[in-house]
Amino acid sequence: MPTTHDPYSALRVRDFRWFITSLLTQTLGTQIQAVVVGWQVYSYTRDPLSLGLIGLAEALPFIATALYAGHIADRLNRRRINLAALVVLVGCSLGLLGLTAAGEISAGHVWPVYVIIFLSGIARSFLQPARTALSAELVSRDLYHNAITWRSSTWQFAAVAGPALGGLLYGFSGPTVAYGVDAALMVFAWFALVEVRHSAPPAAPTSTPILQSLLTGIRFVRSERLLLGAITLDLFAVFFGGAEALLPVFAAEILHTGPRGLGVLRAAPAAGAVLMSVFLSHRPPFARTGRTLFFAVSAFGICMIGFGLSRSFWLSLGLLFLAGMADNASVVIRSTLLQLLTPDAMLGRVSSVNNIFIGSSNEIGAFESGVAAKLMGTVPSVVFGGLMTLLVVGVMTLRLPELRKLGRLT
């Protein structure tokens, strides 16, 4: 007799609910900060490369410490690592608030922003593998797909509300108030995570040299062709489809919407992702997972091409919305593959490898978009990125047929 699919099964776990609450408020604060930093820096520099440098300032420390962060996530208490990383992020939010309130950020003097973003990159490097591994500890393995879907939808909901709220706060009250709200949300996220009572058993002692431990995650990903293929697809889609970093340019010079419009544009992909997450949480896993993944990444690339060519605010908004839907489907598939294929004791290190490929590719992609926009212009750079995404899908379809034929994930 078939069992009934319960779309709220993961949310019935108390610790997972508090975990989701912390994720929600932390992401809200992060998204508000991203909108305000982007508009503030571009308003002083009027240089698209300065937006790419924001991504680079976060990506370099993230990549440099990611493998060690994954090793730490598998050796120490993952909840405590999350709490420590959030303390640093709270400090970064307060730093931006203090510098802005004191008038220390101005034309020709935006370098303090890059310093703070650099520090937040280190904190995020330790936060992400520990958070991924912690979320897997809070629910049983049969709830992974449902938990990942709710985790993704929560993140995406915050990514809808955060940019919109950040744009409104900046537009009506200025950057100081916006940074104040960001800092308050970060503090609340820390207290919510304190409420998670789960305590994992200590990791078994090991004599494995630290370098060998650091490389374990890389070896594991290389040995799992399905996981490596899914990560590679997402990597290049995010790397070449980094139009989001250029949204301040589109808002200021192409669509002429100002900071409020920027907030709405930043929220559009996440709004689409929320809709897709709600849909996925109320249905079983895909029957043809591989085909769905390839279709989703292709749709993302097509939407980026259309967005680059659009001169209508509403058409641009719709294309970003559809891109968010496609991106979320690929994220859920990749995340489910990662947690199903990876042993619990290695989840931190494998997550850190995934974060190097995917998490940092957002920032590296932002830098690539800034450089490409500087060299070939804003619109051609976005269209070029979408075309390259489609090229990668074509190559991967031919090189990895087993991923294309992948069925239901169980």
Give, for all 410 residues of the chain, the pLDDT tens digit.
345 667 778 888 889 999 999 999 999 999 899 888 888 888 888 777 777 778 778 878 887 887 787 778 777 888 899 999 999 999 999 999 999 888 877 767 788 888 999 999 899 889 888 888 888 788 887 777 778 778 877 877 787 778 778 878 887 888 899 999 999 999 999 999 999 987 665 555 555 555 666 677 777 777 777 777 777 777 777 777 667 767 777 887 788 887 778 777 877 887 887 788 778 777 666 777 778 888 888 898 899 889 888 888 899 889 999 988 888 888 777 777 777 777 766 766 777 777 666 655 566 666 666 677 777 777 888 888 888 888 888 888 888 787 777 776 66
Here the tokens at position 240 are 């070449």
pTM over 0.75, yes/no: no
As a whole number, the mean pLDDT across the chain is: 80
* Per-residue pLDDT at 54: 80
User: For position 185, what pLDDT does the model report?
Assistant: 96
Say what the pLDDT of residue 205 is.
52
Note the pLDDT of residue 1: 39
User: Euclidean distance between the first and final Cα of the chain, in Å?
Assistant: 18
Contacts 24+ apart (CB under 8 A), 165-168: 165/28, 165/31, 165/32, 165/263, 166/31, 166/32, 166/33, 166/34, 166/35, 166/36, 166/263, 166/266, 167/35, 167/39, 167/259, 167/260, 167/261, 167/262, 167/263, 167/264, 167/266, 168/260, 168/263
Amino acid at 63: I
Q: What is the pLDDT of residue 22?
A: 94
